[in-house]
Structures are given as structure tokens and as C-alpha cells.
């Protein structure tokens, strides 16, 4: 059973517009949520995170929203840039457990 679901395998967005990537999770014990970005032939790099005590966290063009009642989080990128084209993974854990990852969403930002 998938504990973390990213239901959109891919997303295309025009440069300058907003990109919204979505993630759903099943376990209400998860208390820390992260987004990673991955380019081909490289390891994932940490992008932004949010604790379960918050519902929003912003870092420059990147904002993560958490809706605990719906067990849903989203990553907003505004404005989107061609360099944002990558695979984005949602991940989560609780306490000192390993990160559990979604299957990823491939974002293409078109110039």
C-alpha cells in the first residue's frame, strides 16, 4: 500500500505561471513533510519542508501548504522558470523513521 501518493506523473506549465504539485498521504502519524527536486543522473536535493504544526511555509518562489484534515500537501512554484524542470518528490516521516517517498511528478516548464 502506498503511504505517499503523487497522482500526477507529469505536469507542463508555461514559464512565468504557477506550478502546483500535489501529494496525499495515508498515515496521520506523519509529522514532517518535505519536497525534493531531482535532475536526471543526480541525487535528490532538498527543497522545502513543513512541520505538522504549521499549514504553510514559504521560501522565495516556493510555498508548501499542508492540510492535515485532508492528509494533503501541495507545492506551489511562482513564477515557474525553465530551470525548475525536474522530477519533484514528496516525502514524509515521523520521529526518527526513514523518509517515505511518493513516486514523483515530472515538471516541465516551457519557455
- Which residues make up the interface to another protein (CB under 8 A)? 6, 9, 31-32, 34, 36, 38, 41-46, 49, 51, 89, 91, 95-96, 98-104
CB of 72 to another protein, least distance (A): 18
Cα–Cα distance for residue pair 53/47, rounded to 1 Å: 19
**Minimum gap (Å) between residue 18 Cβ and another protein:** 24
Looking at the Cβ atoms of 62 and 101, the one nearer to another protein is 101
Amino acid at each position: 500500500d502506498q503511504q505517499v501518493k503523487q497522482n500526477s506523473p507529469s505536469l507542463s506549465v508555461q514559464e512565468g505561471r504557477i506550478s502546483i504539485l500535489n501529494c496525499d498521504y495515508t498515515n496521520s502519524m506523519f509529522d514532517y513533510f518535505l519536497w525534493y527536486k531531482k535532475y536526471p543522473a543526480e541525487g535528490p536535493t532538498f527543497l522545502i519542508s513543513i512541520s505538522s504544526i504549521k499549514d504553510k511555509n514559504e521560501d522565495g518562489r516556493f510555498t508548501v501548504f499542508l492540510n492535515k484534515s485532508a492528509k494533503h500537501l501541495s507545492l506551489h512554484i511562482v513564477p515557474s522558470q525553465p530551470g525548475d524542470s525536474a522530477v519533484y518528490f514528496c516525502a514524509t516521516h515521523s520521529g526518527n523513521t526513514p523518509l517515505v517517498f511518493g513516486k514523483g511528478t515530472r515538471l516541465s516548464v516551457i519557455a
